[in-house]
Structure formats: C-alpha cells, structure tokens
Amino acid sequence: MSDFSSYHEMVLKPLQFDAVRAPFAMRQMTTLIARFILEIGITFDKDIWFNYHSIMGNITFSANVFFALLVANTIGVWLTGMIVYTVAATADSNKILPVSIWGIAALGLLLLSGGTLFYVVSPLTEGWTWFLAALIWALRRRDDFWAWSTFPLLLLCIFQREMLPLAFLIMSMTERVCLRRVLSQNRKRFLHAFIAACVASLALYVALRGWIFPTLPTDTHQISPLGWFNRFIDQLPTLWDPLMIRSAFFKLNLPLLWASYVVWAMRHRLLGLDQVCASVGLGLAMASFFCIAYANGAGRAVDRYVVMLSPLFVLAIIDLTEKIHESRRV
C-alpha cells in the first residue's frame, strides 16, 4: 500500500516533485497518464471492496485514482502486447492463418507470467515500463533511422523506471564486446552512440535525483554503487532464506523458462554467436537488477525488479525460436 500511496499523491499533484519522496517522485509518466484519464472523465463510480478499505492512517484514498492507475497500466500492457505480437508474427515464417500462432503464444507467455498477475495489472507503474522496454528492444535491433529514435526513449525512461537504461547499457556493451569482429561499421557506430545515450540517461537521473530534486538523506544510498555493495554484503546471509527463495522465484516463471530454453538450445548447439551474446547480455541485466534490488533492501520482493524485463524475455524467446527454426530448415 505504501507504493500506491505515493502514486496516488502524484496523480493528485502532477509534476510536483516534492509531493512524495524519491524515487517515486521521478516516475511521472504513468501518473500523468492516469491524471489524463481522470481529466477526461473516465471514472468507476461503483460500490467496490476498495471503498471499504481506502483509509490508511490519516489518508483516504480515492477509488477513481485507483481505477485511473489500473486503466493506465492496462493500456500499457495492451500496447506492449501489440509490440510482442507484431515481433512474433513477423518472425513466424509458417503463418497460414490471419492470426499468427507464434504471436498468440508470445502473448500467452507475457500475460500469464507471474509478473503480470502480481505486479503489472496494478495501480503502480509497471505497465508503461513494459511498453518502453519492449519498444526500445524492438527499435534498437533495426538497421534504419528508427533505431536512432531509441535515444529520446532512454531519456523518457528516467521519468518512468530509471533502471531500464542500465539494462540496455549492459546488453549493448555485451553485444559490442562479444561481436566486435563481426559487427558492421554502421552497427558499431550505432552501438557507440546508444551506449553513450544510456550513460547520459543514467547520469542525468543521478544528477536530478541527487542534486536537483528533493532527496531525503536516508535515500541517498539508493543511487550509490558503494552503498549498494555494502548493503548487499550486509544482507548476504539472508539470501539463502528458503522463504525468500520461494516467495521471490515463484513469480519468476518467465525468466526461468527463458533460461531453461537457452540452456537447452546451447546443449544441443543450436545457437549462433549472436544468440549466445544476446542471451549473456540479458542474463547479466537480470543479475544486475537482482543484485541492486537485494542491495536496496527489497528482500522477498526482489522479483519485482526483474519483472520489469519480462517483455524482453518473451522477445528473446521469439528470437531464439526464429533462429533455431531457420537453422533446422537449412
């Protein structure tokens, strides 16, 4: 409820960065969309369970704000689903029906994942985080002008979910290092610029968070790599808590499916160097999210950070399936 209380306040006070504490105050994108939904009069004036449990301390939550955030995130999930379906349908070379079987399967993976059920269709921010993650992934793989449109999207990420540029930074650096001998000059130039844009986005976030917008002294550790390391070491003994493992990994069904698929494909030598590189990059991004979440004291909710990458796991499974299908046809 504490996260929702911050987003609730942000919907009522849009673009007031001192309305709530960081990092919530930076995540304006979803709350602005929810505010727009309220402004155009989309409300839910029914007697629901929420109305009887909407008071916490001296705060009374609005059911209309709750509904607006739900609608906003649902729209984000719909748009993410459109991207995932389009990518899968494009890769489906055996399409014989108007509807792509690959596309339906990809949508099923996305919507039935633990993250969707627990965190994304909720009054928080993950729906539009998924949209940005999927859109940047799809565009950065292109070889035309549209790939360069990812740069403003990276800047937009710092006002939605600040960790997304870090994920793409890790994946792009992995691609640049592992495929340095086979990449075209155009791709190398793009990766150099993209990596610089990721670093600039992260630097801008730290500058805004650390020096421009109000930040409590107790929250400065959240943007300190040294603070992350110290807290991670302090909490390391609890990492093996069976209850923490069950509660965190139970909801990570999609990343575990992706990892199992990668291991199976590698054991059968079905992957080329580019697929291995992409898998390593995504795995490193997932590991970094897990470590940062744990170092920030997320505890049993560390899976919530990894869930931000869920569309990328689906898109990676599509990519692996396409490459395996092509290799078997040859």
Domain boundaries, the chain: 2-215+235-329
- Which 3 state secondary structure label does DSSP give 23? coil
pLDDT of residue 36: 95
Task: Tell me the pLDDT tens digit for each residue of 213-256.
Answer: 766 665 666 677 777 777 777 777 766 667 666 666 667 888 88
Listed residue (194, 128, 120, 113) closest to 161, CA to CA: 128
Cβ-contact 145, 186 below 8 angstroms: no
Q: Pinpoint the alpha helices (H) of the chain.
A: 2-12, 28-39, 63-91, 101-111, 114-115, 126-140, 150-157, 164-178, 185-207, 225-235, 242-249, 253-267, 273-295, 303-306, 310-329
- DSSP code at position 127: H
| 59, β-bridge pairs | 56
Read off the tokens for 100. Answer: 């792509």
Cβ-contact 315, 138 below 8 angstroms: yes
Q: Determine the Cα–Cα distance for residues 86 and 82; give it in Å rounded to an integer.
A: 6
pTM for the model: 0.90
pLDDT of residue 135: 96
H or E segment to which residue 60 belongs? strand 59-60
**Phi, psi of 224, rounded to the nearest 5 degrees:** -115, 110
pLDDT means per 10 residues, the chain with 330 residues, are: 82 88 87 94 73 64 87 94 92 73 90 79 90 96 90 94 94 94 92 96 88 67 70 71 67 87 89 90 92 75 85 93 73
Which residues, in sequence order, are CB contacts of 61 under 8 Å at separation 6+? 4, 5, 8, 50, 54, 55
pLDDT of residue 137: 95
Chain CA centroid to CA 31, Å: 17
**CA angle 209-229-172, nearest 5°?**
70
Read off the tokens for 248. Answer: 């965190």
Q: Determine the Cα–Cα distance for residues 300 and 142; give it in Å rounded to an integer.
A: 37
Task: Tell me the pLDDT tens digit for each residue of 155-189.
Answer: 999 999 989 999 999 999 999 999 988 999 999 99
H or E segment to which residue 61 belongs? none
- Which 3 state secondary structure label does DSSP give 322? helix
- Which 3 state secondary structure label does DSSP give 56? strand
Which residues, in sequence order, are CB contacts of 96 under 8 Å at separation 6+? none
